[in-house]
Structure 1
């Protein structure tokens, strides 16, 4: 299969697994060359047809699969021919990185700008305003809520943001 991508690269492999799962990755790795039908892919890879179709749809949504329809002139049936194209994977990874960085920064800002209280039993974590509404009692079990120092979490978020920003 000519994917123009190193499927052994940990980042790319992890990204594809997050998209299509282990079975989907196996399908990608074993997919026959050229344009093929979903049935041919299932037969050649040993992956269930439903999994093949789900994987192809996800890859298509993410612009990693190209589909061409062909109509049989005698029966009128449509045949869908598929091939993979990972030439844009680096660009997709950069978009994912930017999205993750944006989400981490949003979470960091939220954590830095709020005060939290938790149930010692681990039931809930509430904002200060929410804790005052429950009179600093856990709404689940009735225990007294205690102040939660999130500085370690904030520090971990900052490290993650810095690490992603520098790459």
Structure 2
């Protein structure tokens, strides 16, 4: 098999034609700029992981906490703490200043968590997802009736790919069946409307 890539998964495809195990970050209750801490935790957990949530919980509304204090409280080594903090900084949800320790002579970073920036980050991600959904909708509409799936949920391919595969799943060998993607199109349209409404409310 060459010349194209097929989507594969150990989980069945859902009504979107996406992997059934995919997590959805953007639900109706996330569409707001003033996020509660609970929702901020969920977003950060999905983007970075549980250890970053521990850092966020410790920092809270505190200002300019030293990286050593953060490491001690979160019970993580300095390399891990710095890696996580710089990832948070890269997402603009944590900021820092550096000061030179007069006694030891080295520089120490002091960190502040920016909860309001999590809402801005979510808004940016929503807009990016909206653009991807519009592209996906166009592909689904252009290829309506020309998608084929494995009955066991292994792959989903378009017509040309199905022909090259002789209508057999490259993973399990099952005969591919034509997919009616009308429901997929409807779901994507509904998702676009939901995101558009949320972005309008947040702006």
Q: Tell me whether the two structures share a fold, i.e. TM-score over 0.5.
A: yes
Deviations 1:28-55 (A, max 9, x none): 12227332222211223x3413543233
Q: Which runs of 5+ in 1 are unaligned?
A: none
The range that moved more, 96-105 or 66-75, is 66-75
CA distance in 2, matches of 1:86, 1:121: 43
Which residue, out of 97, 100, 103, partners 2:126? 97
Task: Tell me how many residue pairs correspond in the alignment.
Answer: 161
The TM-score with structure 1 as length reference comes to 0.80
The TM-score with structure 2 as length reference comes to 0.68
CA distance in 2, matches of 1:100, 1:25: 23
Report the alpha carbon displacement of residue 116 of structure 1 after superposing the two structures with TM: 0.8
CA distance in 1, matches of 2:153, 2:113: 46
- CA 1:5–1:137: 2 relative to 1, 3 Å: closer
Larger Rg: 1
* CA root-mean-square deviation: 2.4
Q: Check whether the contact 2:130–2:192 (CA below 8 A) recurs between aligned residues.
A: yes
Correspondence list, 1:25-64, <5 A? 25-31=53-59, 33-44=62-73, 46-49=74-77, 50-64=79-93
Q: Which runs of 5+ in 2 are unaligned?
A: 1-33, 199-203
Runs of 4 or more above 6 Å deviation: none
Query: RCO higher in 1 or 2 (8 Å CA, sep ≥ 6)?
Result: 2
